[in-house]
Structure 1
Amino acid sequence: MAGSDLRSVQRLMRHVPAQYLWPVLLLLVTCFGCILLLLYRTTSTQNELQLNQERAAAAGALEAAAAMTRRDLEDYAKWDEAMRNIVFTLDAEWLADNLGAYLSASQGYEHIFVLDGRDRTIYGFHGGKRVEANALSALGPQFRKSLADVRRMPVDGRPLAGGYSRADDGTVMLYAVGAIIPLTRKVVLPPGPTHMLVIARPVDDAFARAIGEQEQLSGLALHARRPAGKLAAVALPGSDGGAVGWLAWTPARPGAALRRAVFPAFLAVAALALLMAGFIVRRGGRTIEALRQSEARARHHANHDTLTGLPNRRALVAHIRDALAEGGAVGLLYMDLDGFKDANDVYGHGAGDALLRDAADRIRAAVRQGLVARAGGDEFAVLLVDPPAGEAERAADAIVAAFNRLFSVGAYRVRVGISVGHAAFSAGAVETETELMRRADVAMYAAKGDGKNCWRGYATHMDRGHDLRMRMEGDLRAALDNGDIRVLFQPIVDARSGAVVSVEALSRWTHPVHGDVPPDIFIPLAEMSGQINAVGRHVLTVACREAKPLDVSVAVNLSPAQFWDRRLADEVRGVLAETGFPADRLELEITENYLLRRPDAAAMVIAELRALGIRIALDDFGTGFASIGYLRQLSFDRLKIDRDFIRPLGQDAQAAELVSAVVSLARALGLEITAEGVETEAQAAIARIAGCTRLQGWLYGQAMDVAQLRDICSTPPSALADAADR
């Protein structure tokens, strides 16, 4: 019984009334004693049955070997050719070719003798060579008895015998002896005593091993006397009825094996029965214990995160408050995972949960002392109370270093960094837990602003940047509510005619205080604050509504968070229904980097979008790691060559070759091609010659409002070309 089970039993027994304890114990001992006795008797019977089966198998194998020897001898003793070459004329060469070749070389009989009518050896063969030997003196008394028995048998029957004999030198022999008689009436047996054919082989360790392997008997070996102890044995029977030797082996004991296998379960059942008896007798005690445990679990769950097992934010705040009340020095490391939201969106929430557990383990391993807590979402904290000098800095370095290793998410390897902020109060400081956490949070966002995957200690000047970021998050939310996020359009022209055939929707934000906020500022801010889906829906709605009257298609970029949102297809369907914009004029642009992490899942999202009738373009091709296989699997309609490939055109011959190669690849896959970043006519001409079907860039116009777009769409292509030249 395990130690924990024993302690549980002891606890229960202390609560069992004495007048019930001994009757219950007596009942359990009686029941399980009977079960144990029955188990022992059953398994002992199983051992006996197995032993009897093994004995029968061994005895049968011995009898089969003797019968096989008799059959081998009969094949040669009852044979017309044997009569001619042994009885009528003793042909030694014939004997060597037949008896020696088969019975000795092939069947392994070491002793082969031919006896005349007076039992004298007229031909002997031993160990592959002819010998002059007396068979009667070599093979022992059991053989001599069998020979005499065969002499007395009628020749018209089967005058042969065989079995086991102990030779005069102590060797146990397997033998057969038989009269040499004709097989057919073509040969007439001469009068007088018949000639005899004798074959024999030693019963040795090799013989025993062969039977052991055949009958699956462990350690089968030959013994001169019946062995004592735990070995099983069968006798090698002689013709006189006695035993000429013994085959012994270690018998299998399935009952004992079953007993060993069942006994732990028996003990477990006995322990369980004892526990259940205690529960039944003392239901009140069990109820109290259950309530006590339930209360402890409730306290634990109230103060711990169920996913990682770490203390939660509530417990963290309580520990900070207690540490400050004691008046010691307190330090707080507050951290946030970099890139977790993307990984969670791309690989799913199950993978995100596994990643959070792995992150918690890495933080715990990096911290030598202090309380590690999960503050919420992908945020963690480490509370240090009276830390040694430099411990906070060491812990922060160790945590950042721990996140330099890739995370395993299923079959994928993912890089997720961490940004750490540190704030501290010296001993006796009159401050609140709220202020300590605020400062650590400010320092953490300063680490994010300095490039992420690093740590920063709190300084007062950080409050200005933090306050600005918080204000801008609120201002962005207000701008979305008020429709202040503008949508501009950049023309995309047909490479041959120069006519505007499509536009790309671009978002712009102008704030009365902050001024023009570039997209590379407010788009990451939207992603960080969870507003990116609202921004994306706003841009898509405005672009479809304003471009609907124009005879152009509209291209709209999707962020990673939008693409992996399970509601994306429903959102797009709702916008198309709301604005009445034709689905076949809408093109959604997707960047390759975040598709290739889960190509199978990306293919399903793209298929769902294409089912709406819209087109899908792969944006910024060449900046990621897309392979031909991925391009075929993901079924794009258009491929947009990144501006980094277009910019060198006209100055670098290799750039033109690269563009031509990309165009050839796209054509082979049935994709249309757009060249991005076209700024000069020379670049346009080379892209056109290479096979690009559409051109986009400042040569044809920068971002413009819908009124300017309307004018450009109504301007003939020749006039646009003249304006571009100017």
Structure 2
Amino acid sequence: MGKLFDKRWLGDQLVAVVGLLVAAAMAALLGVVMLVAERVDESASARERELMQAAVLGLKQKIKSDLGSFALPDSGLERPSDERSRWLHRHFGARLYQGGRYNEAHIINPLGQTLYSSLNGSLVQKQDSEGIDQRLLSLVALVRANFEHANVIKKLLAADAGERPPPPTSVFRAEFVRVNGQPAIAAVVANAPVFARSEERIYSPPLVAVVSYFDQQSIDELQSDVSVTGLRFSETAAHTKEETGISVSMDDGSAPLMLFWHATRPGTAILERIAPALGAITLFFGFVTLIVLRTMRASTQELAVSERRAVEMAYRDPLTGLANRLRLVETLREQIPALAPGQKLALFFLDLDGFKDINDTLGHPVGDELLAMVGERLEGILGSKGMTVRFGGDEFALLAPISQTDEIGRIAERIIETVRQPVIAGEHVLNVGGSLGISLAPEHGREPEELLRRADIALYRAKSDGRGTHRVFDPSDEVVLQSRRAIERDIERAMWHDEFFTVYQPLFSADGERIEGVETLVRWQHPERGMVPPGDFIHVAEKSGLIVKLDEWVLRKACEHAKQWPDISVAVNMSPSNFRHCNLAERVKRVVEETGFDPRRLEIEITEGMLLNANDDVLFDLQELREFGIRFAIDDFGTGYSSLGYLGSFPIDKIKIDQSFVQNLGVKEDAAAIVECVARLGRALGLSVTAEGVETAAQHRFVRAAGCQQVQGYLLSKPLRPAEITELMCKPAAELQRA
């Protein structure tokens, strides 16, 4: 019995020991699993808190992006108060509110006056600062002070002169504050113009101030960005054990705003799934442990994949799927130092010609589809041998390693030819062109920004040389660019210092005995360079956008001078750039009314090309001015792509036969037929016909016999000063012919 007891006891002890060992092993295993699950939950929660913190801060960047896309042209700000408010609401407030993000929007001028306000997308008629939260007004004052302290405009002028790299062109500040007791983001931006592409402003700009409350839309947006559920805002730190959260410090010193959401607990979820197996089948101890490890590994891999995907998105253009500017700059920084002797990197900077017209006439969806298809085609040129980049807007860049110089031309021609191929977008067949600027590393620089800048300079020369071509950067290009910018600055200064003046070339009746009108021409007496030919500054004014201001100045002078000549009309040339700016009709009518000129005596000369590219807005402006009494003439008729269609569709009163046809009379066989054909066409359509460039008596006799109602040219009179026009009009008909 004793031995049996001893064996049983030993057996019990062994069973107990084994049981204890198994229990200890199971407990240890369960403890390890629970500890791992807890750590995974903590890691996931920490990651979510980091992402949520970044997403909350990202709301400021989204507001900055939204406000940066709005330009406030002088034409809108200079309107009467009521009309200005409605105009700003239509072009700014209502469009800004379409996304539903903004609860308040204000535009405040440098004097602190409120030019425009809207609440929840509705225009506020009473424009003052009483209804604006004091914190927002303080932020406005801070941004104004920062903008002026930063000397943004002076720095931009210095950058234009090539003294330093271009600085930021805006001052933006956003803060987390409480507005009317409700947590919100208050943001203010001051935008300065980009002088290379728009007219220079030398005054402090209006400020745009907005308020975006933390509301249900903010909750939905943050939940979507971070992929969480149950997100809520709270004024206190109280929350359930299932929730995790962050605190958002308020910039106005008020209590922090708390954000809580249902914590994602991948570890707990896994533990709940394997717990029944752990409790029921001890034999699957190792197997269950393996599953746990594998599952945890899968969770870790999923987090890593998500992180890699987020990084990849930061380097990709969402529209085309191509690499973006950030990725290009980093690639240049990596590859330039690694270049072997004799090896080069070619940077091809592409700008689409004609894209803006498509975008304006057919809409942004069609424009986006065009960009995506062009990007796909461009990517196929280099393939894996290079990089294709959507740089922004209608600009692309291609980066390719080269060993032979002749490769540059072949790649450039292939790029241009690829872009020229028609693109079918829905029911539209779209045609665009492309101009290329090329810079080489290390020849033209070893820094990414320097290569990009010089490729852009080469692109400017390609566009100046006629578009649809490519140019490799040459150091002389910088001299040309600096000269162009110097002329731009001189043009702006000249308008302030009355260096421009107008002359007038008479338009005579067909017999040459009566002055029926004058054409206004602009001249520039430079204090250092003397008389500057129009060909040296008109095209610079066109490209820089200064032509709009110059044309308005010429129109005003013409109206003032022509009031002395009550019996004749005055013609003024209008650049196509004017028709791409808002409210042309209103600007012209304002000048006419301010000068007291009779609009029925005003004639605006436009080009064929402008009509061919015109959209509904241009037609509306022409019709509005026609109803006001102004007449329209097509200048240099026959030199462009003439079409009977636009002669019938637009309110045209006169066509002017280009002087090249008149001067070829008796020189080229077809010149006479062309002049006669245009004269007959004008009569058939009920249009007046003027022959330009009449310099000989034979030319005068021919155009008169062909049926031209008016003649103009040096045979009859050169361009004259206003006083000379007055003197000429006092002469009898016989003396006019002798003159």
Instruction: Give the TM-score range, shorter chain.
Output: 0.5 to 0.7
Amino acid at match of 1:284: A
Rounded Cα–Cα distance in structure 1 between residues aligned with 2:319 and 2:725: 52
Map of 2:687 onto structure 1 = 671
Cα shift readout 1:505-558 (whole Å, capped 9, x = no counterpart): 223334455554443443332232232322222222222222222223121222
Rounded Cα–Cα distance in structure 1 between residues aligned with 2:465 and 2:330: 31
Rounded Cα–Cα distance in structure 1 between residues aligned with 2:374 and 2:625: 34
Map of 1:421 onto structure 2 = 438
Amino acid at match of 1:321: R
Which of 711, 720, 730 matches 1:695?
Answer: 711
Map of 1:284 onto structure 2 = 263
Aligned residues of 1:345 and 1:561 also touching (Cα < 8 A): no
Aligned residues of 1:675 and 1:687 also touching (Cα < 8 A): yes
Q: Please tell me whether Structure 1 or Structure 2 has the larger radius of gyration of its CA atoms.
A: 1
Q: What secondary structure sits across from 1:461 in the alignment?
A: helix
Offset, 1:695: 1.0
Rounded Cα–Cα distance in structure 1 between residues aligned with 2:703 and 2:445: 68
Amino acid at match of 2:419: F
Distance 1:518 1:343, change over 3 A: farther
Q: Single out whichever of 688-697 and 380-389 deviates more from structure 2.
A: 380-389
Q: What secondary structure sits across from 1:595 in the alignment?
A: helix
Distance 1:578 1:441, change over 3 A: same
Map of 2:329 onto structure 1 = 317
Q: What secondary structure sits across from 2:264 in the alignment?
A: helix
Distance 1:681 1:291, change over 3 A: farther
Structure 2 stretches lacking a partner, 5+ long: 1-35, 41-226, 232-241, 244-260, 268-298
Q: What secondary structure sits across from 2:582 in the alignment?
A: coil
Note if 1:609 corresponds to 2:625: yes
Amino acid at match of 2:488: E
Q: What secondary structure sits across from 1:537 in the alignment?
A: helix
Note if 1:636 corresponds to 2:664: no
Note if 1:478 corresponds to 2:463: no
Distance 1:599 1:691, change over 3 A: farther
Aligned residues of 1:346 and 1:564 also touching (Cα < 8 A): no
Offset, 1:631: 1.8
Rounded Cα–Cα distance in structure 2 between residues aligned with 1:688 and 1:676: 12
Map of 2:516 onto structure 1 = 501
Map of 1:435 onto structure 2 = 450
Map of 1:546 onto structure 2 = 561
Map of 1:366 onto structure 2 = 381
Identity of aligned residues (%): 38
Offset, 1:584: 0.8
Offset, 1:579: 2.0
Note if 1:566 corresponds to 2:578: no
Distance 1:365 1:638, change over 3 A: same
Distance 1:385 1:473, change over 3 A: farther
Write out aligned runs for 1:326-337 (5 A). 330-337=345-352
Distance 1:593 1:386, change over 3 A: closer
Rounded Cα–Cα distance in structure 1 between residues aligned with 2:303 and 2:556: 56
Q: Normalising by structure 1, report the TM-score.
A: 0.54
Distance 1:318 1:471, change over 3 A: farther
Distance 1:364 1:475, change over 3 A: farther
Q: Normalising by structure 2, report the TM-score.
A: 0.53
Distance 1:396 1:386, change over 3 A: closer
Q: What secondary structure sits across from 2:467 in the alignment?
A: coil
Amino acid at match of 2:331: H
Aligned residues of 1:421 and 1:446 also touching (Cα < 8 A): no
Cα shift readout 1:248-268 (whole Å, capped 9, x = no counterpart): xxxxxxxxxxxxxxxxxxxxx
Write out aligned runs for 1:262-661 (5 A). 283-285=262-264, 305=317, 307-324=319-336, 330-341=345-356, 353-368=368-383, 369-384=385-400, 392-406=408-422, 411=428, 413-425=430-442, 431-496=446-511, 498-512=513-527, 516-551=531-566, 552-597=568-613, 603-649=619-665, 655-661=671-677
Distance 1:407 1:485, change over 3 A: farther
Offset, 1:701: 2.1
Amino acid at match of 1:677: G
Aligned residues of 1:553 and 1:585 also touching (Cα < 8 A): yes
Rounded Cα–Cα distance in structure 2 between residues aligned with 1:407 and 1:523: 34
Rounded Cα–Cα distance in structure 2 between residues aligned with 1:463 and 1:704: 38
Distance 1:362 1:671, change over 3 A: same
Cα shift readout 1:117-143 (whole Å, capped 9, x = no counterpart): xxxxxxxxxxxxxxxxxxxxxxxxxxx
Rounded Cα–Cα distance in structure 2 between residues aligned with 1:349 and 1:512: 46
Rounded Cα–Cα distance in structure 1 between residues aligned with 2:305 and 2:548: 44
Offset, 1:673: 1.5
Aligned residues of 2:505 and 2:719 also touching (Cα < 8 A): yes
Offset, 1:615: 0.6
Rounded Cα–Cα distance in structure 2 between residues aligned with 1:653 and 1:388: 50
Q: What secondary structure sits across from 1:403 in the alignment?
A: helix
Distance 1:488 1:312, change over 3 A: farther
Offset, 1:601: 6.1
Cα shift readout 1:257-286 (whole Å, capped 9, x = no counterpart): xxxxxxxxxxxxxxxxxx999999994229
Aligned residues of 1:443 and 1:458 also touching (Cα < 8 A): yes
Structure 1 stretches lacking a partner, 5+ long: 1-13, 19-274
Offset, 1:614: 0.6
Aligned residues of 2:346 and 2:439 also touching (Cα < 8 A): yes
Map of 2:722 onto structure 1 = 706
CA-based RMSD of the aligned residues comes to: 4.3
Aligned residues of 2:355 and 2:432 also touching (Cα < 8 A): no
Offset, 1:680: 1.6
Cα shift readout 1:644-688 (whole Å, capped 9, x = no counterpart): 332244667864454344333322322112111211222222222
Rounded Cα–Cα distance in structure 2 between residues aligned with 1:489 and 1:346: 36
Cα shift readout 1:460-487 (whole Å, capped 9, x = no counterpart): 3333223323333333333344443433
Rounded Cα–Cα distance in structure 2 between residues aligned with 1:286 and 1:418: 54
Cα shift readout 1:34-91 (whole Å, capped 9, x = no counterpart): xxxxxxxxxxxxxxxxxxxxxxxxxxxxxxxxxxxxxxxxxxxxxxxxxxxxxxxxxx
Q: How many residues align?
A: 452
Distance 1:627 1:382, change over 3 A: closer
Q: What secondary structure sits across from 1:700 in the alignment?
A: coil
Distance 1:460 1:635, change over 3 A: closer
Offset, 1:722: 0.5
Offset, 1:291: 12
Amino acid at match of 2:450: E
Rounded Cα–Cα distance in structure 2 between residues aligned with 1:370 and 1:300: 18
Offset, 1:357: 4.1
Amino acid at match of 1:421: I
Map of 1:9 onto structure 2 = none
